[in-house]
């Protein structure tokens, strides 16, 4: 009976092998009359759904952080991509498992291909382990995104600069040559403002800037700004930091203690016409031999004011017949408010200076100046007398106070860049006198404000031939 032992050994080995694979091979269960691996497929489906919930939670965290200008970590990004790939693999495997269940022997529940069923069962078992591991990894991310490094310089597209080359060079010589070292400094400044008070924000900005050499650029300031109130450290002679700002009001320069003032004047003719042509376009101007001369006439109506040159130039782009240009010229001279873009893009923006006066008397005095012809130099003493005659200065007790008040109004209109004040010779008296003058476009804007379309004043002004000025209510 010696041959029994080898046979038993073989049987034992065979059973061990079968037992190890029992977890993968579909077997008959008399109680459920089903294969066991459908239960494994359902377990895998449940595990994948749990993993997907963790994935969605982490993805929402990443999305929130990225909206705050942060960048997801490489570890989280790799995990998200691997989960997305795993979901596809699992779906393919579940489809194969479902298909295998459908393939049964005729009239039985036995699989046609035990080898294929074994492989599927083994893959299902392995995927369950992988899914469980990915789920654990998803719970362990303490940080999903990090702040982006602050750029040394933020590049922004700019329009071609026309007529400001000399001014830019002057500013550079006066201020910028000492600051070239700043642009080699790369410092980070990140503050989360949500839930923080104004004082806390100011303190956070101040603590970062107080040890730095900084250049602050502020554009179009309408009223004095308390720099310290927003966390900007004091800028004084002992500090190498500087603040550069632009404003329409000279009083802002005074109140903010500007050490150096650079006036931006209207463009000279060559620069003005060049700016106008840029916005009209070469294709339009060169479309007819007469158009360059007509373009000069239109550009001169702008009197060197960049905003007017840009607005009117854009309106003339695409107008390619002399007849249309001539009609536009007449409209611009006689009814400027009806010219395309004048109300919405030009007068409405210039009117900010008028609105900022915040005094009806000063506003009325300004509008009164539009009664004088274009380019007319108005004697300041005569203008104040006319204001007194109109009753604009009735709040003063006597003529002397009224004259002083009128001079203050002239100064305020000059500071607001609504009137130009010049010293000149009075041609009638032969004496030096002070005159004010309105820019042509400012005068057009004042007339627009005075009419009903401007919705600013209900008074009406009438100019009678011969130079005499008459007003009517």
pLDDT at 261: 83
Q: Mean pLDDT for the chain?
A: 77
Using alpha carbons, select from 266, 265, 268, 262 the residue that is nearest to residue 244.
262
Least confident of 193-197, 315-319, 349-353: 193-197
Token pair of 98 as six digits: 């479902």
Query: How high is the pLDDT of residue 227?
Result: 82
Q: Which residue has the higher pLDDT, 451 or 368?
A: 368
Question: Which pLDDT score, from 0 to 100, does residue 257 have?
Answer: 83
For residue 299, the model assigns a pLDDT of 94
pLDDT at 355 over 50: yes
Residue 351 reports pLDDT greater than 80:
yes
pLDDT of residue 388: 94
pLDDT value, residue 457? 46
The CB density around residue 196, as the number of other CB atoms within 10 Å, is 13
Overall average pLDDT of the 288-298 stretch: 95
Q: Is the Cα torsion angle 178, 183, 189, 193 positive or negative in sign?
A: positive
Give the pLDDT band (50/70/90) at residue 426.
low
Q: What does the pLDDT look like over 137-149, one tens digit per residue?
A: 989 888 888 887 7
- Tell whether domain 269-334 is in CATH 3.30.70: no
- What is the per-residue pLDDT for 42? 83
**pLDDT at 330 > cutoff 90:** yes
Q: Which of 18-22, 247-251, 308-312 is the most confident on average?
A: 308-312
User: Any idea where the domains of the chain sit in the sequence?
Assistant: 23-147, 165-255, 269-334, 361-472
The Cα 218–Cα 224 span in angstroms is 11
Q: What local confidence, expressed as pLDDT, does residue 435 receive? A: 92
Is the pLDDT confidence value at 465 over 60? no
pLDDT in tens, 365-422: 999 999 999 889 999 999 999 999 999 999 998 999 999 999 999 999 998 889 999 8
pLDDT for residue 273: 94
CA R_g for the chain: 41
Decide if pLDDT at 282 tops 60.
Answer: yes
Contacting residues for 226 by C-beta, under 8 A, at least 6 apart: none
pLDDT digits (tens, 9 = 90+) for 67-115: 887 889 999 999 999 999 998 888 888 888 777 777 654 444 555 556 6
**With 80 as the cut, is the pLDDT of residue 167 above it?**
no
Domain spanning 361-472, CATH class: mainly alpha
Percent residues over pLDDT 90 in the chain = 31
d(CA 9, CA 350): 104
**Residue 233: predicted pLDDT:** 80
Q: Of 171 and 365, which is predicted with more confidence?
A: 365
Q: What is the pLDDT of residue 181?
A: 40
Best CA proximity match to 194, nearest among 181, 204, 209: 204
178-230 pLDDT, tens digit per residue, is 444 444 333 344 445 566 787 877 888 888 777 777 788 888 888 888 888 88
């Amino acid at each position: 009976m010696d041959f029994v032992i080898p046979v038993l050994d073989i049987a034992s080995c065979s059973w061990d092998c079968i037992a190890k694979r029992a977890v993968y091979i579909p077997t008959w269960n008399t109680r459920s009359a089903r294969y066991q691996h459908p239960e494994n497929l359902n377990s895998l489906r449940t595990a994948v759904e749990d993993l997907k919930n963790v994935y969605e939670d982490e993805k929402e965290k990443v999305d929130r952080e990225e909206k705050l200008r942060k960048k997801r970590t490489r570890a989280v990004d790799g995990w998200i991509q691997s989960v997305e790939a795993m979901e596809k693999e699992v779906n393919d495997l579940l489809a194969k498992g479902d298909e295998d269940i459908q393939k049964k022997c005729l009239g039985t529940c036995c699989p046609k291909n035990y080898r294929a069923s074994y492989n599927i069962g083994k893959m299902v078992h392995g995927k369950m382990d992988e899914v469980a591991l990915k789920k654990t990894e998803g719970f362990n991310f303490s940080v999903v995104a990090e702040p982006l490094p602050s750029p040394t310089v933020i590049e922004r597209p700019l329009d071609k600069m026309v007529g400001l080359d000399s001014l830019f060079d002057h500013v550079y010589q006066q201020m910028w040559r000492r600051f070239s070292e700043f642009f080699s400094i790369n410092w980070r400044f990140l503050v989360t403002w949500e839930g923080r008070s104004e004082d806390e924000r100011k303190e956070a900005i101040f603590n970062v800037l107080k040890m730095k050499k900084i250049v602050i650029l502020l554009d179009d300031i309408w009223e004095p700004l308390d720099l310290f109130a927003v966390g900007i450290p004091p800028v004084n002679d002992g500090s190498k930091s500087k603040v550069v700002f632009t404003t329409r009001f000279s009083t802002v320069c005074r109140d903010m203690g500007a050490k150096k003032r650079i006036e931006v004047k209207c463009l000279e003719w060559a620069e003005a016409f060049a700016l106008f042509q840029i916005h009209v376009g070469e294709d339009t101007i060169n479309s007819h031999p007469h158009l360059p001369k007509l373009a000069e006439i239109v550009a001169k109506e702008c009197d060197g004011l960049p905003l007017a040159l840009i607005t009117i130039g854009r309106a003339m782009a695409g107008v390619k017949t002399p007849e249309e240009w001539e009609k536009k010229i007449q409209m611009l001279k006689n009814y400027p408010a009806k010219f395309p873009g004048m109300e919405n893009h030009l007068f409405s923006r210039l009117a900010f200076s008028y609105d900022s006066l915040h005094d009806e008397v000063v506003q009325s005095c300004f509008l009164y100046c539009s009664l004088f012809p274009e380019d007319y130099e108005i004697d300041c003493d005569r203008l104040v007398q006319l204001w007194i005659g109109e009753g604009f200065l009735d709040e003063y007790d006597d003529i002397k106070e009224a004259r002083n008040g009128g001079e203050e109004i002239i100064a305020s209109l000059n500071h607001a860049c609504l009137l130009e004040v010049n010293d000149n010779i009075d041609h009638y008296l032969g004496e030096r006198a002070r005159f004010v003058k309105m820019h042509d476009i400012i005068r057009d804007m004042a007339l627009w404000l005075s009419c009903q379309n401007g919705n600013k004043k209900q008074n009406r002004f009438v100019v009678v031939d011969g130079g005499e000025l008459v007003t009517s209510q």
